[in-house]
Structure 1
Amino acid sequence: MRRRNDEARPARGMARWAWLALAGSSLAVAVVALFVPGLPSTEFVLLAAWAATRGSPRLAAWIERHRLFGPMLYNWRNGRAVSRRAKVTATLSMSACVAIMAMSVDDRRWVIAAALAMACGACWMWGRPEKPEAPEAPVTPVTPGRV
């Protein structure tokens, strides 16, 4: 039987260092993406968490408990949800990028191609649910005769 991703065993030796390097570099890009318009952060946080489960369970736990990154992971793992705030921020960032490109890039074909790619990404993102699925509550047995 195949293990779930959450239960992946950490790698050993050089493979562990490769997973750790991928997790660290992805997390670094995610932090930079928080400040650079047009660069997505959620995808890099997801990649960092996935790689960290294979390279460093301690890093994976830290990412999951982080005040910025933890909610992203929770939302994604529970219904592939993206918060409204993240959607609005990403849309505004993409819009700013298109505006900057329109003013600074001479070849309009590149601006149009980038705008179309960003529009596709925005459509996909806005199609995601905004709230994670609620975990099912355990069913409490009803005992006859008790109120």
Structure 2
Amino acid sequence: MASILSENGVHITHGRRRLSNSLGLGCADAPFATSGGSPRRVPFFMRPAGPVARLLWRVLALVFVALGLIGAFLPVLPTVPFLLAAAWAAGRGWPALEHRLLAHPRYGEYIRQWRLRGAVPRRAKWTATAMMALSSAVLLATAAPIAVKIGAPVFMAAVAIWLWSRPDN
């Protein structure tokens, strides 16, 4: 299996970290990197998380995985966006979970395609657009304030435009 680029720029191969990241800064765990003999500071988001931060990233990843699991059984709650967020959070504090999500037989491909190209499957685009249109129609039939009746559909239309601007798988 080829290496997979994690969210924080570290290549993961079979659940292990390689010593170089995507920016070519050398060891991802080093606070300084050298290029041409002069040390430069590694950005804070490339440094390893401390124990408290790692715990918080893990908790956040678990919350997103739980929401994704709920979404697998409830048609009104999407699964893949929560798994995308879980992989993002896991990439900062739980590389093993991130690797499991990336290697998942059903949802791993969606996560990898999103990371590589920002791609969204055409079927997901159609489903999301239909659900937003249905939600807007139901909202217009309710006694919601006029600002909500206008603002929510405008926001959903903007999301739909952005969604359709993404490449397909």
TM-score scaled by length of structure 2: 0.64
Deviations 1:34-63 (A, max 9, x none): 5353x5554432221111022212211111
Tell me the equivalent position of 1:63: 101
Contact 1:17 1:55 in 2 (8 A): yes
| Higher mean C-alpha deviation, range 51-60 or range 66-75 | 66-75
Q: RMSD in angstroms over aligned alpha carbons? A: 2.5
Task: Indicate whether 1:101 and 2:139 are aligned.
Answer: yes
Task: Indicate whether 1:115 and 2:149 are aligned.
Answer: no
| Structure with greater proportional strand content | 2
CA drift of 1:113 comes to: 0.5
Structure 1 unaligned runs (5+)? 132-147
How far apart, CA to CA, are the structure 2 residues paired with 1:30 and 1:118? 21
Structure 2 unaligned runs (5+)? 1-5, 11-27, 30-47
**Identity %, equivalent residues:** 37
How far apart, CA to CA, are the structure 1 residues paired with 2:123 and 2:116? 17
How far apart, CA to CA, are the structure 2 residues paired with 1:29 and 1:51? 14
| Structure with greater proportional helix content | 1
Tell me the equivalent position of 2:35: none
CA drift of 1:123 comes to: 0.2
By relative contact order (CA 8 Å, sep 6+), the higher-ranking structure is 1
Contact 1:91 1:122 in 2 (8 A): yes
Task: Indicate whether 1:6 and 2:4 are aligned.
Answer: no
Contact 1:79 1:129 in 2 (8 A): yes
**CA distance change for structure 1 residues 111 and 41 in 2, over 3 Å: closer, same or farther?**
farther
CA drift of 1:81 comes to: 0.9
Contact 1:94 1:118 in 2 (8 A): yes
Task: Indicate whether 1:77 and 2:115 are aligned.
Answer: yes
Aligned partner of 2:116: which letter? N
**Greater than 6 Å deviation, 4+ residue runs:** none
CA drift of 1:127 comes to: 0.7
Task: Indicate whether 1:53 and 2:91 are aligned.
Answer: yes
